[in-house]
């Protein structure tokens, strides 16, 4: 794996510069990973016509997966660096953009395949994206279903300065606070990485507490509940007490569900804190210190005053980060919907300052 | 004037305004309480094979039911109508209370047993609760995983107008909107019954969309997420397009609803081609069909944020109903549950008028 990055150069644009914390890089086909796979897996995949982990949680041609105009001549939306430059990095004046590759490594039950493909994806990200574009950083893809092997992959990839966080799909087989994940959290802390929990995940279990819904619309709107459950678990199990330097960023989670969740969480903690005596402060305090969220998508009332009231309920100017979520489309552009309603200082924090404070490896 | 000896009444009863409690629990001291209402065949079965417990027994809790609510007989808190009357209904001036029994019904893989238990629970409710106090109303307990038998039970009870709704647990085997359950909703619509979903209880699925959490604290926060999945499903499947029913969410909190409505409307604008049968934005279905009870009351640290929440409810503030959850450990105290700053008209609505209207009480 190449560990050098392309030379940075200064670019300017019309918009104020942003740090974009959620840009998607799509593996076009499993064959694109062949240069990064050992011969055994190249042969195996070729002979078996295995298509790679294809349990996608993005319907391929819907706006959620591909905003209008984002499809390259070949391959899926999000697979072209040229289009990314033309549609995001240049026009949105992206100072730094962090790649997220949601290749469904977590759906693979064969652990050897999961490890091999995770390694291949990370090497592919380093070669095909980071080495070619100095504004980009990336998230480490891991076989999170096998935490000790995920930790080994983190140890391997963290040597590359372009990787700034570890990607964890929101839907997991166990919630991430569970102590089976301890090796994963240790590795994240060891390398000063951020734990990035992202929309989706393909553990094979249902996405709701009442089983499988019929429509993607339900999974999409319901993912906020899964994020809430992950936060509950991570705080309750004392991850932030064991690893006080660790930060968690929620990508594509929405924002406005969080204040009411914290009210309930604090209240239940006051009643039941004897069950989790290692917690030193109310759950909301842990979340405000350790958790960040991107403003894409933004589920909020249209009225700017009502929007400000929601942000006041959240009560933490340090918590929000800018993200385009390219090439996904959620029907909200922070520059037109959010920022005009905000004091300029807060907008500036969301555009760049909060991300700079969060990502120590930037 | 002749002084007659009357029952001593708690001094404050007359000074308290009347309330309607939408979540009063009538408890079984043990399954044996149902034996008078079960055939010998099922009594023998239960003695030999037992019943699966109300789900949620996987966690050692911190609290049992309220100790002060335990009758002098030593039976389970909430298991004797006489003591519930003396300890709660009279002193708090409860004008009406809706019974929601939490029983093993809905959880029995043996569906004939599930149906027999449901019938027994309802017979028990009539004889030992409804016939004993005119202020009580009740929820029809049905084997909802077996809709034909559930409908038969609804038909058996519908003429008794003291039954006002049909009860689901928090996590049925499938999301509540799925077609499997439609015959139940059809029967509810036919008889003017509401549908109530009470927190907790599951067919065996975890309380999150990402696996089993470790602590009762997490299980106790989860219903807020589970109910959102059920509401999303009821809307997405078109239940409210077909049946003019009201759905009452109990013990799931209510702070999350505005955010859910914003999220659903945005998601629907993006993905409406997948659910073309939906005629209106999801929030409109919620405004017409969904009611929520207060306990556990939302407690934002800044009381102004509670008022913001009421503003976010807007016209829908009359869909919020008071519930105590008596005699459970986390029951809300009617006098102090609502924050002091809540305007008087809204307070009276929540404590009395909204439920009176919904349940058409005199």
pLDDT at position A254 is 94
User: What are the strands, taking DSSP E only, across A101-149?
Assistant: 136-141
Q: How far apart are CA B136 and CA B99, in angstroms?
A: 7
Q: How far is B176 from chain A (nearest CA, A)?
A: 8
- The mean pLDDT of chain B is 94
What does the alpha-carbon distance between residue B191 and residue B209 come to, in Å, rounded to a whole number? Answer: 34
Selecting from A233, A271, A331 the residue whose C-beta is nearest the C-beta of B270 gives A331
**Does residue B8 surpass a pLDDT of 60?**
no
Q: What per-residue confidence (pLDDT) applies to A8?
A: 38
Interface contact A60, partner B, CB < 8 A: no
Gap between the Cα atoms of A175 and A237, Å rounded: 10
* Residues on chain A touching B255 (C-beta within 8 angstroms): 259-260, 263-264
B223, closest residue in chain A (CA to CA): A209
Asked if the Cβ–Cβ distance from B210 to A229 is below 8 Å, we say: yes
Contact indicator for B20, B94 with CB cutoff of 8 Å: yes
- How many CA atoms, within 13 angstroms, populate the side-chain half-sphere of residue A126? 23
B39's tokens: 């055939």
SS (H, E, C) A90-107: CCCCEEEEEEECCCCHHH
Closest CB from B215, B273, B329 relative to A275:
B215
pLDDT of residue B204: 87
Q: What span, in angstroms and rounded, lies between the C-alpha atoms of A226 and A236?
A: 15
Name the pairing type of β-strands A248-251 and B94-99.
unpaired
Contact yes or no for A330 and B266 at CB 8 A? yes
User: Residue A145: its pLDDT value, please?
Assistant: 96
Radius of gyration of chain A (CA): 20
Contacts of A69 (CB under 8 A, 6+ apart): A87
Tell which of B60, B225, B296 to mutate to test the A interface (max A CBs under 10 Å): B225
Taking CB atoms and an 8 Å limit, are A62 and B259 in contact across chains?
no
- Touching check for A50 and chain B: CB below 8 Å? no
Tell me: pLDDT of B5 over 70: no
Placement of tokens 């909200």 in the chain: A332
First to last CA, chain A: 20
Indicate the residue of A224, A226, A236 with minimum beta-carbon distance to B217. Answer: A236
Q: What is the ipTM of this complex?
A: 0.92
Supply the DSSP string of B48-113, one letter for each residue: HH--PPPS-TTS--S--S-GGGS-TT-PPTT--HHHHIIIIITTTTEEEEEE----STT--SSHHH
From B221, B225, B267, residue closest to A268, measured CB to CB = B221
Evaluate if residue B55 carries a pLDDT over 70.
no
Inter-chain residue contact B255 with A209, CB threshold 8 Å? no
What distances in angstroms separate CA B353 from CA B19, B319, B360, one per listed residue? 9, 10, 10
How far apart are alpha carbons B195 and B249 in whole angstroms?
9
What is the pLDDT at residue A333?
A: 78
pLDDT at B54 over 70: no
CB atoms within 10 A of CB B254: 25
Q: What is the pLDDT of residue B56?
A: 59
Run of H or E including B177: none
| Cis bond before residue B77 (omega within 30° of 0) | no
Contact A232 B221 (CB under 8 A): yes
Question: A229, B222: Cβ pair inside 8 Å?
Answer: yes
Minimum distance, in Å, between the CA of residue B131 and any CA atom of chain A: 35
- Contact criterion met (CB < 8 Å) for A275 and B330: no
User: In which band, very low, low, confident or very high, does the pLDDT at B110 lie, cut at 50, 70 and 90?
Assistant: very high
Closest CA to B259 of A157, A90, A257: A257
Measured between beta carbons, the chain A residues lying within 8 angstroms of B262 are 256, 299-301
DSSP B212-256: --SSHHHHHHTHHHHHHHHHHHHHHTTHHHH----EEEESS-STT
Distances (CA, A) of B159 to A106, A261, B38, B193, B195: 53, 41, 22, 11, 17
The pLDDT value given to residue A7: 39
Contact A313 B308 (CB under 8 A): yes
Closest CB from A220, A274, A300 relative to B267 = A220
- Express each pLDDT in B111-146 by its tens digit: 999 999 999 999 999 999 999 999 999 999 999 999
Query: What is the structure's pLDDT at B60?
Result: 82
Question: What whole-number distance in Å separates Cα of residue A251 and Cα of residue A166?
Answer: 12
Domains of chain B and CATH, by start = 20-358 (3.20.20.140)
CA pair distance B18, B315, nearest whole angstrom: 24
For the full predicted model, state whether its pTM sits above 0.80: yes
Dihedrals φ, ψ of A300, to 5°? -150, 160
How confident is the model at residue B13, as a pLDDT?
A: 54
pLDDT of residue B3: 43
Domains of chain A and any CATH numbers: 18-358 (3.20.20.140)
Of A179, A209, A260, Cβ closest to residue B256 = A260
Q: Is the predicted pLDDT of residue B12 greater than 80, yes or no?
A: no
CB B97 within 8 A of CB B134: no
Average pLDDT, stretch B185-198?
98
- Which residue stretches of chain A have pLDDT < 50? 3-13
Handedness of CA A105, A109, A113, A115 (dihedral sign): positive
- Whether A203 sits inside 8 A of B171 (CB atoms) is no
């Amino acid at each position: 794996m190449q560990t050098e990055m392309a030379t940075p150069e200064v670019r300017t644009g019309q918009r104020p510069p942003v740090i974009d914390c959620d840009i998607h890089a799509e593996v076009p086909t499993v064959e694109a990973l062949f240069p990064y796979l050992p011969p055994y897996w190249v042969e195996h995949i070729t002979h078996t016509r295995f298509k790679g982990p294809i349990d996608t949680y993005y319907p391929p041609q819907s706006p959620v997966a591909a905003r209008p105009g984002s499809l390259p001549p070949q391959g899926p939306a999000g697979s072209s660096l040229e289009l990314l430059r033309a549609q995001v990095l240049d026009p949105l004046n992206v100072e730094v953009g962090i790649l997220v590759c949601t290749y469904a490594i977590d759906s693979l039950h064969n652990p050897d395949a999961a490890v091999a493909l995770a390694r291949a994806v990370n090497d592919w990200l380093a070669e095909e994206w980071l080495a070619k574009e100095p504004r980009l950083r990336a998230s480490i893809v891991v076989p999170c279903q096998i935490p000790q092997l995920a930790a080994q992959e983190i140890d391997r990839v963290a040597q590359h300065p372009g990787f700034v966080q570890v990607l964890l799909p929101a839907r997991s087989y166990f919630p991430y606070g569970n102590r089976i994940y301890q090796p994963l959290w240790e590795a994240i802390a060891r390398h000063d990485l951020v734990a990035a929990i992202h929309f989706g995940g393909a553990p094979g279990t249902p996405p709701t507490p009442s089983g499988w819904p019929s429509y993607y619309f339900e999974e999409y709107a319901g993912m906020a509940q899964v994020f809430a459950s992950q936060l509950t678990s991570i705080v309750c199990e004392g991850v932030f007490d064991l690893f006080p330097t660790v930060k968690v960023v929620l990508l594509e989670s929405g924002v406005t569900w969080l204040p009411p969740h914290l009210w309930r969480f604090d209240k239940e903690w006051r009643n039941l804190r004897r069950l989790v005596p290692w917690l030193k402060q109310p759950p909301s305090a842990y979340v405000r210190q350790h958790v960040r969220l991107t403003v894409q998508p933004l589920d909020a009332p249209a009225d700017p005053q009502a929007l400000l009231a929601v942000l006041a309920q959240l009560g933490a100017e340090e918590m929000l980060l800018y993200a385009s979520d390219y090439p996904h489309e959620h029907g909200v552009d922070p520059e037109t919907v959010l920022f005009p309603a905000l004091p300029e200082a807060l907008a500036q924090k969301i555009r760049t300052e909060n991300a700079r404070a969060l990502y120590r490896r930037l | 004037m002749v002084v007659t000896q009357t029952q001593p009444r708690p001094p404050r009863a007359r000074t308290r305004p009347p309330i309607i409690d939408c979540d009063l629990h009538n408890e079984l001291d043990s399954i044996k309480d149902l034996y008078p209402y079960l055939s010998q065949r099922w009594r023998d079965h239960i003695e030999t094979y037992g019943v699966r417990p109300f789900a949620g027994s996987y966690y050692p809790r911190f609290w049992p039911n309220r100790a002060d609510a335990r009758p002098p007989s030593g039976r389970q808190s909430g298991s004797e109508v006489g003591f519930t009357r003396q300890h709660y209904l009279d002193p708090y001036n409860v004008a009406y209370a809706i019974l929601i029994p939490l029983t093993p019904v809905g959880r029995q893989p043996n569906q004939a047993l599930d149906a027999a238990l449901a019938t027994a629970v309802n017979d028990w409710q009539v004889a030992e609760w409804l016939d004993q106090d005119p202020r009580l109303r009740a929820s029809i307990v049905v084997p909802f995983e077996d809709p034909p038998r559930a409908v038969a039970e609804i038909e058996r009870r519908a003429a008794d107008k003291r039954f006002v709704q049909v009860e689901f647990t928090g996590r049925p085997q499938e999301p509540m909107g799925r077609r499997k359950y439609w015959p139940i909703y059809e029967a509810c619509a036919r008889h003017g019954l509401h549908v109530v979903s009470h927190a907790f209880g599951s067919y065996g699925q975890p309380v999150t969309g990402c696996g089993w959490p470790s602590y009762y604290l997490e299980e106790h926060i989860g219903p807020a997420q589970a109910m959102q999945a059920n509401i999303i499903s009821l809307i997405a499947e078109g239940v409210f397009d077909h049946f003019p029913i009201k759905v009452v969410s109990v013990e799931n909190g209510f702070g999350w609803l505005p955010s859910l409505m914003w999220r659903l409307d945005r998601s629907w604008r993006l993905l409406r081609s997948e659910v073309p049968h939906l005629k209106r934005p999801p929030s409109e279905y919620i405004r017409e069909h969904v009611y929520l009870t207060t306990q556990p009351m939302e407690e934002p640290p800044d009381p102004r944020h509670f008022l913001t929440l009421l503003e976010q409810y807007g016209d829908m503030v009359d869909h919020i109903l008071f519930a105590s959850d008596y005699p459970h450990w986390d029951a809300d105290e009617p006098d102090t549950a609502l924050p002091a700053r809540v305007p008087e008209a809204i307070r009276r609505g929540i404590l009395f008028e909204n439920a009176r209207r919904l349940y058409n009480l005199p």
